[in-house]
Amino acid sequence: MRSTWFKAWLLAFGLLASMAAKAADIDLFAGNPTSVTAPNVLIVMDTGASFSASNSNFRCSISVPGPSGLDATVNTTSTVTTNLTPMDSTNGGVEQCALYSVFQSLATGTATINVGIMFLNNNQKTYDPVTNTYGSDCINAIGGCLAMKITPLNTSTAPNILAWIKRWTTSGNGNDNIKGPANRGDGETMQEAWAYLFGKTGISTRDYSQPSVALTADSCAAKNIIYLANNYNQQASPKDGTATAESNLLRLQGSTSVPLAQRASPAATTLEQTVMTGTLATGCGTNLGTLPTAENKGAYALNWALYMKDQGVTTYTVGVEETSGNGCDATYGAWLNKMGGIGNGVGEGGFFHTADFSTLVLDFKEIIGKINGGNSFALENLNVPLNNYKFYKASVGSVDGVLGIRPEHIAVGDDAKGMPFVVESEIEIVEPMGSDTVAWTRLAGQPVTFRCSSDIPLAPGQKVMIGFDPARGSLFDAASGLRV
For 369-397, b/e burial (b = at least 16 CB within 10 A) is: ebbbebbbbbbeebbbbbeebeeeeebeb
Q: How far is Cα 326 from Cα 289, in angstroms, rounded to an integer? A: 13
Question: Quick check: 129 and 165 in contact, CB under 8 A?
Answer: no
Q: Residue 28 to residues 67, 138, 330, 430, 460: CA-CA distances in angstroms?
A: 33, 38, 39, 36, 36
| Span 249-264, average pLDDT | 97
Each residue's pLDDT tens digit, 300-347:
999 999 999 999 999 999 999 887 766 678 888 999 999 999 888 899
Bigger pLDDT: 4 or 286? 286
Q: Which residues pair with 133 in a beta bridge?
A: 128
* Residue 482 placed within a domain: no
Q: How far is Cα 104 from Cα 201, in angstroms, rounded to an integer? A: 32
Per-residue confidence (pLDDT) for residue 326, from 0 to 100:
66
| Span 407-433, average pLDDT | 85
DSSP annotation of 69 = S
pLDDT band, residue 259 (cuts 50/70/90): very high
* Residue 484 placed within a domain: no
Per-residue confidence (pLDDT) for residue 31, from 0 to 100:
25
Question: Does residue 64 sit in the same domain as residue 205?
Answer: yes
- Average pLDDT in the chain: 84
Residue 84, domain CATH: 3.40.50.410
> Of 352, 374, 396, which residue is a domain's last?
374
Per-residue confidence (pLDDT) for residue 145, from 0 to 100:
98
Each residue's pLDDT tens digit, 442-475:
887 778 888 888 889 999 999 998 888 887 877 7
Per-residue confidence (pLDDT) for residue 214, from 0 to 100:
87
Q: Could you list the residue range(s) of the whole structural domain that residue 451 is in?
A: 2-28+377-477
Q: Which residues pair with 300 in a beta bridge?
A: none
Per-residue confidence (pLDDT) for residue 408, from 0 to 100:
86
Q: How far is Cα 232 from Cα 279, in angstroms, rounded to an integer? A: 21
Question: Does residue 57 sit in the same domain as residue 129?
Answer: yes
Cβ-proximal residues to 330 (8 Å cutoff; 6+ apart), any chain: 282, 284, 287, 288, 289, 290
Question: Does residue 198 sit in the same domain as residue 292?
Answer: yes
> Of 374, 397, 432, which residue is a domain's last?
374
At residue 81, does pLDDT exceed 90?
Answer: yes
* Residue 33 placed within a domain: no
List, as own/partner pairs, every contact residues 171-176 make where C-beta atoms lie below 8 angstroms and the sequence separation is at least 24, other chains included. 171/52, 171/86, 175/125, 175/127, 175/134, 176/86, 176/125
* Residue 35 placed within a domain: no
At residue 212, does pLDDT exceed 80?
Answer: yes
Question: Does residue 254 sit in the same domain as residue 352?
Answer: yes
| Span 412-440, average pLDDT | 86
Per-residue confidence (pLDDT) for residue 182, from 0 to 100:
84
Rg (CA), the chain: 23
Per-residue confidence (pLDDT) for residue 33, from 0 to 100:
27
Question: Does residue 370 sit in the same domain as residue 386?
Answer: no
Local structure of 309: helix, strand or coil: helix
| Span 396-419, average pLDDT | 76
| Span 36-58, average pLDDT | 88
Each residue's pLDDT tens digit, 161-171:
999 999 999 99
Question: Does residue 337 sit in the same domain as residue 458?
Answer: no
At residue 130, does pLDDT exceed 70?
Answer: yes
Per-residue confidence (pLDDT) for residue 380, from 0 to 100:
57
Q: Into how many domains does the chain fold? A: 2
> Of 319, 347, 374, which residue is a domain's last?
374
DSSP annotation of 413 = G
Bigger pLDDT: 235 or 199? 199
Per-residue confidence (pLDDT) for residue 232, from 0 to 100:
84
Per-residue confidence (pLDDT) for residue 39, from 0 to 100:
87
* Residue 393 placed within a domain: yes
* Residue 34 placed within a domain: no
Each residue's pLDDT tens digit, 97-121:
999 999 998 887 655 789 999 999 9
Question: Does residue 386 sit in the same domain as residue 322?
Answer: no
At residue 197, does pLDDT exceed 90?
Answer: yes
* Residue 349 placed within a domain: yes
Q: How far is Cα 334 from Cα 339, in angstroms, rounded to an integer? A: 9
Residue 24, domain CATH: 2.40.50.140
Question: Does residue 162 sit in the same domain as residue 173?
Answer: yes
Question: Does residue 245 sit in the same domain as residue 132?
Answer: yes
Question: Does residue 208 sit in the same domain as residue 196?
Answer: yes
* Residue 65 placed within a domain: yes
Question: Does residue 162 sit in the same domain as residue 265?
Answer: yes
Q: How far is Cα 160 from Cα 165, in angstroms, rounded to an integer? A: 9
Question: Does residue 297 sit in the same domain as residue 230?
Answer: yes
Bigger pLDDT: 400 or 463? 463
